[in-house]
């Protein structure tokens, strides 16, 4: 690796630590026997960011996280922390802490002893008074002051979750790894904890890496999301990037909801592509990639980008309303087109208030604007 010389006054190690990304995976592959859990992962984790691994169960998210923590060694490739290769360094040597999916709190220790565990392992030993000061601060941070002497199994799921968080953050790790930390909580508590996690990350400035299969969670919490599929990274970007510019049907489907229509490319002009669907109808859409003519692709449009109207406008397609679900700010319509099949449309409340509400069985027209249509690789 070619590193520029360190400026005067900084040792080269210090310099490397402060300029390198906090962690990096370089061409990392992990195999368990015949199973390839991670395939050629390449990614950098920047200092202070909130990164999520998103993907369905079994796609290798936990494996990626465990390689960062040091519980698994890559079969091929390198894991770097602070610019140094740590492939073979065991978990207890890494400046990384993990919040386990099932919390893994020590059942024989009190809340306070659980939280102070990491600090007590430090050599040279840390002052007792310093330990209790930091533990108290961590307890405050997760709003558990007063619970010091509780046994962890006497606590609720949400409280245990916070103990697990406090036990990790008290060590001030360079990287905090969270493996589906909220999966075991009920919906309401999960929402609360999501907000707390985000606050915590901003307040502490620690780099967070979260594993989740919940796209909503990833979208609302992360600075960047790494979408995975069968051990591979399919796309990486900010939540907005992934939502607005998915590169494949898989990402568009996994991140948010979308309507898909299969077709073949007729022509490509600049970044717009003409697509012919099975029924012969033609649409234009933004090409997410470079496509060849006659290539099989997928047209995608988000439900909230479709406008539902009561009269035939130019280019609109006719549908019949199948179902209507009131969602508060939005109304979700399920409509049926004679050859395109079912389409989901999300209409804002204002539209209804302005008088364009539809009932089951009504005829209506959909405006599929070319700006909102995305042409995606079928994969």
Partner 1 sequence: MTKRERNWLLLLPGGAWFLIMLVLPLTVVFIFSFGERGDAGGYVPAFTLEQYANLPARLTAFENTMILAPIGTLISMLIAYPLAYQLAVNTSRKWKTVLLVLVIVPFWTSILIRSYAWIYILGGQGIPNLLEMLGIEGVRLIYTPFAVLIGIIYGYLPLMVFPIYVSLDRLDKRLLEASSDLGAKPFATFMQVTLPLSVPGIATGCMLVFILLMGEFLIPALLGGGKVFFVGNALVDLFLQSRNWAYGSAVAVTLIVIMLVTVTVYMRLISRLNTQRDDVSIM
Ligand X SMILES: Nc1ncnc2c1ncn2[C@@H]1O[C@H](COP(=O)(O)OP(=O)(O)O)[C@@H](O)[C@H]1O
- Measured from the CB of residue 59, what is the shortest distance to ligand X in angstroms? 4
- Judged by CB under 8 A, the residue of 18, 35, 71, 349 near partner 1 is 71
Nearer to ligand X (CB atom), residue 144 or residue 227: 227
| Chain centre to alpha carbon of residue 227 | 7
Helix 128-141 with 187-204: angle, nearest 10 deg: 130
Residue 183 found at the interface with partner 1 (CB under 8 A): no
Nearer to ligand X (CB atom), residue 217 or residue 284: 217
Using only C-alpha atoms, the chain has a radius of gyration, in whole angstroms, of 25
- Measured from the CB of residue 231, what is the shortest distance to partner 1 in angstroms? 22
How far apart (Å, rounded) are the C-alpha atoms in residues 243 and 323? 26
Residues in binding contact with Mg ion, number by CB under 5 A: 1
Partner from partner 1, Mg ion, ligand X, none binding residue 121, C-beta < 5-8 Å depending on class: partner 1
How far apart (Å, rounded) are the C-alpha atoms in residues 138 and 140? 5
Residue 87 found at the interface with partner 1 (CB under 8 A): no
- Measured from the CB of residue 127, what is the shortest distance to Mg ion in angstroms? 38
Give start and end residues of each alpha helix (H) in the chain. 12-19, 61-69, 111-120, 128-141, 157-169, 187-204, 215-221, 239-244, 249-254, 349-353
Pairing status of strand 207-212 against strand 50-54: parallel
- What's the first-to-final CA gap in the chain, in angstroms? 35
How far apart (Å, rounded) are the C-alpha atoms in residues 185 and 194? 11
Positions touching ligand X (CB under 6 A) are 32, 35, 37, 55, 57-63
- Smallest CA-to-CA distance from 88 within 105, 103, 71 is with 71
- Measured from the CB of residue 272, what is the shortest distance to ligand X in angstroms? 36
Residue 62 found at the interface with Mg ion (CB under 5 A): yes
Residues in binding contact with partner 1, number by CB under 8 A: 25
Residue 33 found at the interface with partner 1 (CB under 8 A): no
Binding to partner 1, residues 102-161 (CB under 8 A): 102, 104-109, 113, 117-118, 120-122
- Measured from the CB of residue 341, what is the shortest distance to Mg ion in angstroms? 34
Q: Which of 99-107, 259-267, 298-306, 332-340 is the region at the interface with partner 1 (rule: CB under 8 A)?
A: 99-107
- Measured from the CB of residue 181, what is the shortest distance to Mg ion in angstroms? 11
How far apart (Å, rounded) are the C-alpha atoms in residues 17 and 36? 31
- Measured from the CB of residue 152, what is the shortest distance to ligand X in angstroms? 24
- Smallest CA-to-CA distance from 336 within 347, 357, 322 is with 322
Nearer to ligand X (CB atom), residue 230 or residue 272: 230
Residue 91 found at the interface with partner 1 (CB under 8 A): yes
Beta strands in the chain (DSSP E): 23-32, 35-45, 50-54, 76-81, 84-85, 96-99, 175-179, 207-212, 224-229, 232-237, 259-269, 272-277, 282-287, 296-301, 307-309, 317-326, 330-337, 341-348, 363-367, 374-377
- Residues 6 or more apart whose CB falls under 8 angstroms from that of 262 comprise 277, 278, 296, 297, 298, 299, 378
Nearer to ligand X (CB atom), residue 66 or residue 94: 66
Partner from partner 1, ligand X, Mg ion, none binding residue 359, C-beta < 5-8 Å depending on class: none
Q: Which of 68-76, 135-143, 274-282, 358-366 is the region at the interface with partner 1 (rule: CB under 8 A)?
A: 68-76
- Contact positions vs partner 1 (CB under 8 A): 69-71, 90-92, 96-98, 100, 102, 104-109, 113, 117-118, 120-122, 167, 171
- Contact positions vs Mg ion (CB under 5 A): 62
């Amino acid at each position: 690796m070619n590193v520029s010389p360190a400026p005067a006054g900084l040792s080269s190690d210090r310099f490397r630590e402060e300029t390198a990304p906090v962690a990096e995976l370089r061409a990392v592959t992990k195999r368990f026997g015949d199973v390839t859990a991670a395939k050629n992962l390449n990614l950098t984790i920047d200092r202070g960011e909130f990164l999520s691994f998103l993907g369905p169960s079994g796609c290798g998210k936990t494996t990626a996280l465990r390689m960062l923590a040091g519980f698994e060694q890559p079969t091929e490739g390198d894991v770097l922390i602070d610019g140094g290769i740590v492939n073979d360094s065991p978990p207890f040597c890494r400046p990384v802490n993990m919040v386990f999916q099932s919390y893994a709190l020590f059942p024989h220790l009190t809340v306070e002893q659980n939280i102070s565990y990491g600090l007590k392992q430090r050599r040279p030993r840390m002052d007792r008074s310093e330990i209790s000061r930091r533990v108290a601060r961590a307890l405050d941070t997760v709003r558990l002051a007063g619970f010091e002497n509780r046994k962890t199994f006497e606590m609720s799921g949400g409280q245990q979750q916070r103990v697990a968080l406090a036990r990790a953050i008290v060590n001030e790790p360079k990287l905090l790894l969270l493996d589906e930390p909220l999966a075991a909580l009920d919906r309401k508590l999960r929402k609360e904890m999501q907000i707390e996690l985000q606050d915590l990350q901003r307040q502490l400035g620690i780099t967070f890496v979260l594993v989740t299969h919940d796209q909503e969670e990833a979208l609302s919490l992360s600075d960047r999301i790494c979408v995975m599929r069968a051990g591979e990274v399919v796309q990486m970007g900010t939540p907005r990037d992934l939502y607005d510019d998915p590169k494949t049907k898989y990402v568009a489907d996994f991140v948010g909801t979308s309507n898909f229509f299969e077709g073949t490319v007729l022509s490509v002009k600049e970044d717009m592509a003409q697509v012919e669907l099975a029924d012969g109808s033609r649409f234009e859409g933004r090409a997410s990639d470079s496509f060849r003519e006659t290539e099989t692709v997928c047209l995608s449009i988000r439900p909230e980008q479709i406008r539902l109207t009561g009269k035939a406008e130019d280019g609109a397609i006719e549908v019949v309303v199948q179902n209507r679900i009131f969602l508060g700010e939005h109304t979700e319509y399920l409509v049926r087109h004679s050859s395109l099949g079912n389409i989901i449309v999300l209409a804002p409340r204002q539209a209804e208030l302005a008088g364009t509400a539809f009932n089951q069985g009504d005829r209506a027209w959909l405006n599929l604007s070319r700006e909102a249509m995305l042409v995606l690789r079928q994969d």
